Amino acid sequence: MASTGNFLQHRNDNDVRPSLSPEELKRWKEQITANPYRNYLYSYPHKTAYREFQPPIPLEQLWLEEPADSFFLYMHIPFCGARCGFCNLFTLPDKRADVHATYVDALERQAKQWSAFTGLKPYARFAIGGGTPTLLAAPQLSRLFRIAREIMGLDTALASISVETSPETITEEKLAILKDNTVDRVSMGIQSFVAAESAAIYRPQNPEVVYQALELLGKYQFPILNLDLIYGLPGQSVESWLYSLNQALLYEPEEIFLYPLYTREHTIVKPGDLLRQQDLRHACYTAACQLLAEHGYRQYSMRRFAKEAAGTSKAILDYSCQEEGMVGLGCGARSYTREVHYASRYGVSRKATESIIADYVSSESYDTADYGIVLSREEQKRRFILKAVLHSEGLKLADYSGRFSASLWNDYPELNLLLQSGLGEVEEGILRLTPEGLGYSDSIGDWFISGEIRERMEGFILP
């Protein structure tokens, strides 16, 4: 982690004064900007920081003390048609319908046990992710919504509902199920409209199938269509990247997520595979920002771009942007309370994933948290900051003071570096990244991770 020098104390949240020499500040900014994609924060703390709880924590106790006013219900379907070359998520290539049915049976058993602990408050959001949820046969897909409503107590009139899909799994029957269950947002991973680029990441995808899926989705007029694209693919140029982005824009999605390609030693595409080509990721990112702004999209984070009018007509309940009170059903799903994050064990290899899923479906009891992390006060603060400041809405200084009875600048004077470097700003009591800073969100987040969490993450060996 970069040195941040000796910082002056601050009289109040708006009294920000330089604390590094110009040369020190220049070196710090160069460390942030020289490698924008050194790491990323899918969540914080990352699941590789989780460890086995000794003893396990009873869920009844855990959820009874959760202060969130409303919850987020998430269901994880850990099955895909194939594993993409960049994927390090908890997912298993398995198309067998009987395997899917047995898994949903287990998810229903889990829901029946958890509803006694988590049914004390309403759900503001419901999401089904994976994996590829629409790989499930129509009857199993319908069951997920029934479980959410009848067992977990989801009120579909008060919750935003999101489902992930892929082009080859979309059918009229499945889209009708989503529509009948008032799904507000359908998110489809395309990654690239160029067949050679898809093949390079081991994602055999005929562009014609993508176009057919987009046409079919348009017929159902979901309030929000989100499309995922990836930049930095093997063989990709800025021009071919913009071609894919322009193809997506032809369908006028309400939302677009743009992801830089990350590789790890345990993914199919290895980090070394990308060393043979020029790293164009930041050039692709800046070109995309300009193009999307010209098409009326507002940037909400390094990855999320959306139309101002994107949304649903439902009267959605309020839900904390900090993602506390997240109830994760299914093997591989994460659950978040204010002080404890927990999940099943984590694996990426086929052997490890199959073993973890087998343990899950054979279990009869799901009433304890066995694997996760207990967040210290320090980590709660860092999470609160990161979940806000890496988004355009920013961090309200008064919210931090109100929650933790402390000054942000006294607790983390190193955040002044964002302001002094031009990567961040404070306006009307809100700390946020500048447009330049948003482009370096991943390296800024990596810089701000605590030493303790970093040591836990780096000491984790993936099975």
pLDDT-based confidence at 427, cuts 50/70/90? very high
Residue 148 has pLDDT above 80, yes or no: yes
d(CA 234, CA 198): 9
pLDDT-based confidence at 262, cuts 50/70/90? confident
What pLDDT, on the 0 to 100 scale, is given for residue 316? 78
Residue 31 has pLDDT above 70, yes or no: yes
When mean pLDDT is compared across 3-17, 319-333, 357-371, 415-429, the lowest value belongs to: 3-17
Cβ-based neighbours of 266, under 8 Å, separated by 6 or more = 88, 348, 349, 462
Of 85, 445, 440, 84, which Cα lies nearest the Cα of 274? Answer: 85
pLDDT-based confidence at 5, cuts 50/70/90? very low
Q: Work out the average pLDDT over 165-176.
A: 96
d(CA 282, CA 329): 36
pLDDT-based confidence at 389, cuts 50/70/90? very high
Q: Is the pTM of this model over 0.85?
A: yes
CB contact at 8 A, 251 and 216: no
What pLDDT, on the 0 to 100 scale, is given for residue 326? 94
Q: Work out the average pLDDT over 307-320.
A: 80
458 vs 70, more confident: 70
When mean pLDDT is compared across 165-174, 217-226, 308-317, the lowest value belongs to: 308-317
Q: Work out the average pLDDT over 450-459.
A: 73
Q: Report whether the peptide linkage leading into residue 234 is cis, meaning its omega lies within 30 degrees of zero.
A: no
pLDDT-based confidence at 48, cuts 50/70/90? confident
Percent of the chain with pLDDT over 90: 72
Give backbone dihedrals phi and psi of 176, rounded to 5 degrees, phi first. Answer: -65, -35
Residue 442 has pLDDT above 90, yes or no: yes
Mind listing the pLDDT tens digit for each residue in 268-306? 666 666 667 789 999 999 999 999 999 999 999 999 999
Q: Which residue in this structure is represented by tokens 């309940």?
A: 317
446 vs 120, more confident: 446
Q: Which amino acid is it at 100? A: H
What pLDDT, on the 0 to 100 scale, is given for residue 358? 96
CB contact at 8 A, 172 and 208: no
Residue 315 has pLDDT above 80, yes or no: no
Q: Work out the average pLDDT over 87-96.
A: 84
d(CA 138, CA 177): 8
CB contact at 8 A, 387 and 321: yes
d(CA 246, CA 252): 10
Q: Work out the average pLDDT over 370-382.
A: 95
What pLDDT, on the 0 to 100 scale, is given for residue 145? 98
43 vs 380, more confident: 380
pLDDT-based confidence at 329, cuts 50/70/90? very high
Q: Work out the average pLDDT over 134-153.
A: 98
What pLDDT, on the 0 to 100 scale, is given for residue 274? 67
Q: Work out the average pLDDT over 423-430.
A: 97
What pLDDT, on the 0 to 100 scale, is given for residue 10? 42
What pLDDT, on the 0 to 100 scale, is given for residue 314? 76
**3-class DSSP string for the chain:** CCCCCCCCCCCCCCCCCCCCCHHHHHHHHHHHHCCCCCCCCCCCCCHHHCEEEEEEEEHHHHHHCCCCCCEEEEEEECEECCCCCCCCCCCEECCCHHHHHHHHHHHHHHHHHHHHHHCCCCEEEEEEEECCHHHCCHHHHHHHHHHHHHHCCCCCCCCEEEEEECHHHCCHHHHHHHHHCCCCEEEEEEECCCHHHHHHCCCCCCHHHHHHHHHHHHHHCCCEEEEEEEECCCCCCHHHHHHHHHHHHCCCCCEEEEEECCCCCCCCCCHHHHCCCCCCHHHHHHHHHHHHHHCCEEECECCEEEECCCCCCCCCCCCCCCCCCEEEECCCCEEECCCEEEECCCCCCHHHHHHHHHHHHHCCCCCEEEEEEECCHHHHHHHHHHHHHCECCCEEHHHHHHHHCCCHHHHCHHHHHHHHHCCEEEECCEEEECHHHHCCHHHHHHHHCCHHHHHHHHCCCCC
Q: Work out the average pLDDT over 342-363.
A: 91
Q: Work out the average pLDDT over 77-96.
A: 83
What pLDDT, on the 0 to 100 scale, is given for residue 453? 76
